[in-house]
Amino acid sequence: MAGTAGEPAAGAAGSGAEAGGKPERSVRTVMFALMIAMLLAMLDNMIVGTAMPTIVGELGGLEHLSWVVTSYTLATAASTPIWGKLGDLYGRKGVFLLSIVVFLIGSVTSGMAQDMGQLIGFRAVQGLGAGGLMVGVMAIIGDLVPPRERGRYQGMMAGIMAVAMIGGPLVGGTITDHLGWRWSFYINLPLGAVALAMVTAVLHLPRKPRSTARIDYLGAALLTVGITAVVLVTTWGGTEYAWTSAVIMELSAIGAASLVGFLFVEARAAEPIVPLHIFRSRNFSLMAVIGFFTGFVMFGAVLFLPLFQQSVQGASATNSGLLLLPMLGAMLVVSMVAGRITTSTGRYRLFPIAGSALMITGLFLLSTMDTGTSRVTSGVYMAVLGAGMGFLMQITMLVAQNSVEMKDMGVASSSATLFRTLGSSFGVAVMGALFTGRVQDEMAARGAAEATAGSAQLDAASLARLPDALREAYESAVASGTHAAFLVGGSVAVVALAASFFVKEVPLRGAGPAEPPSPAGDGTPGKVTERV
């Protein structure tokens, strides 16, 4: 796969045996180092979420609790495109190592926080680093492994996600109980040190000539303001403030104006943060849409399934994480199978269609759950949803990267990641608002609104203290709330299915030399030499 802008597709690590230079084992060594870095970003929120009740108990500031998550999410989303562009301009390895260092600095300072205000600020620093971790991993993989061969490594990435989702709550609870909540941040240090050492030692990319291009500071500022406003609207709307309140209206106006201004600036910038020409590729634009709705669905499911299992099915917090195994296991297996088929055949168009259809089916099945649904039945429903996400999670990134030139690999990876992040933000906000409203309405209709006064979510201890009649009413209300949340998730996922039918089967770049995608706007490579 030919490189551009002075940075070929593979460095000393090569792209494995298929590149003809290095054995596949060397690529797996690099991938292992990258997966550790990916684990840092994915595991952190899962661990910290478990520790939050203890953190609030020590630091106080319950009214600012949501900002511990929001500050991290905002910083991650806003910095994601900037990290991608910096990697394109100045070389991926150095920028990636810098993002790890920033993340570790945020981890150390978060663990040392003395009040909630400090923790929120340091979590923002941590989020800045996290924005570069995921993008760096995806862009480096895009450099090292041709799209045609990338499918064989999808199982590793899906496996890391499963480890983070299942192991995060378990590790977080154990650390908090035995070492204290501060170690939920300090645990990142040994992992980060291993990632730094391994990436430095085994990742060898050709040195990029120092770029003389000026960073698009105005575009970066407008994008940051726009994304921040959008995330705040989805986070606060319907919870902190009414959707029609002045605050939400003002934030919406600021976000819209900033994003319009951003598009205007990017169309004229010499080195735009997000080159608009990448959206001329039909496949890239479709992957952005599909990625958005995949994020919308996935993070909503991860949020509400454990809640249903704890509140309705009586699972403990720890067991509710383990009960996600059907979804995560199906996602892992399907992702591996899809990757192998893609590598063997070079074909992938069927996967977004099948994945979207299964995702919709799984969500509508989950929306039928009630107080009588068994764990086995809900497990089957979760497996259907997981299979759908397994088809979509890595294929969307692979097709997006295959649709751009090598010089745009970083911004393509960061843009695809950004759309998925924004989708998750919208998903949690919309599904959360529907869930909360339905629970409160159901409890009010049963004359038991006082049971959820101030919150639609009761922990296991609070639920156990309720009288039997009140507990049954709450269980029924939670089942009704999850019905509404999953129903809307399945409805919006129809857009992803519709978009998937328009994906064009463009040959994946193989291990041989390849021309950049044609300017036709569909991502079609000019000449492709594939060797399997």
Q: What is the per-residue pLDDT across 124-183, written as a single tens digit (0 to 9) for each?
A: 899 889 888 888 888 888 777 777 676 666 667 767 777 777 677 677 767 777 787 788
Helix (H, G, I), strand (E, B) or coil at 76: helix
Residue 103 pLDDT greater than 90, yes or no: yes
Contact by Cβ (8 Å): 273, 411: yes
Phi, psi of 269 (to 5 degrees): -75, 145
> Is 80 exceeded by the pLDDT of residue 476?
yes
Residue 248 above 60 pLDDT?
Answer: yes
Contact 507, 522 (CB under 8 A): no
Q: Which residue has the higher pLDDT, 22 or 419?
A: 419
pLDDT at 10: 37
Work out the average pLDDT over 511-522. 46
> Which pTM value belongs to this model?
0.74
When pLDDT is averaged across residues 382-411 and rounded to a whole number, the result is: 83
Residue 497, pLDDT above cutoff 70: yes
Tokens coding 184 = 């939920």
Which of these ranges, 5-9, 360-364, 388-392, has the smallest mean pLDDT? 5-9
Give percent above pLDDT 70 in the chain.
78
Q: Which helix (H) or strand (E) holds 159?
A: helix 154-178
Average pLDDT of the chain is 77
Per-residue confidence (pLDDT) for residue 114, from 0 to 100: 84
Between residues 523 and 234, which one has the greater pLDDT?
234
Q: What is residue 249's predicted lDDT score, i.e. its pLDDT?
A: 92
The whole-number average pLDDT for the span 38-66 is 70
pLDDT tens, 304-329?
787 777 777 776 655 666 777 888 78
> What are all long-range contacts of 250-259, with beta carbons under 8 Å and residues at least 24 apart?
254/225, 254/226, 254/229, 255/225, 255/226, 255/227, 255/228, 255/229, 255/230, 256/226, 258/222, 258/223, 258/225, 258/226, 258/229, 259/222, 259/223, 259/226, 259/230
Percent of the chain with pLDDT over 90: 11
Identify which of 26, 27, 73 has the alpha carbon closest to the alpha carbon of residue 49.
73
Domains by residue range for the chain, with CATH: 23-203 (1.20.1250.20), 274-506 (1.20.1250.20)
Q: Model confidence at 188, in pLDDT bands (50, 70, 90)?
A: confident
Q: Give pLDDT, residue 501.
A: 93
Coil/strand/helix, residue 289: helix
Please list, residue by residue across 480-510, b when 16 or more beta carbons sit within 10 angstroms of its beta carbon and e when fewer do. Answer: bbbbbbbbbbbebbeebbebbeebeebbbbb
User: Do residues 459 and 49 touch, judged by C-beta distance below 8 A?
Assistant: no
More confident site: 407 or 379 = 379
Q: Which of 523, 511, 493 is nearest to 391 (CA)?
A: 493
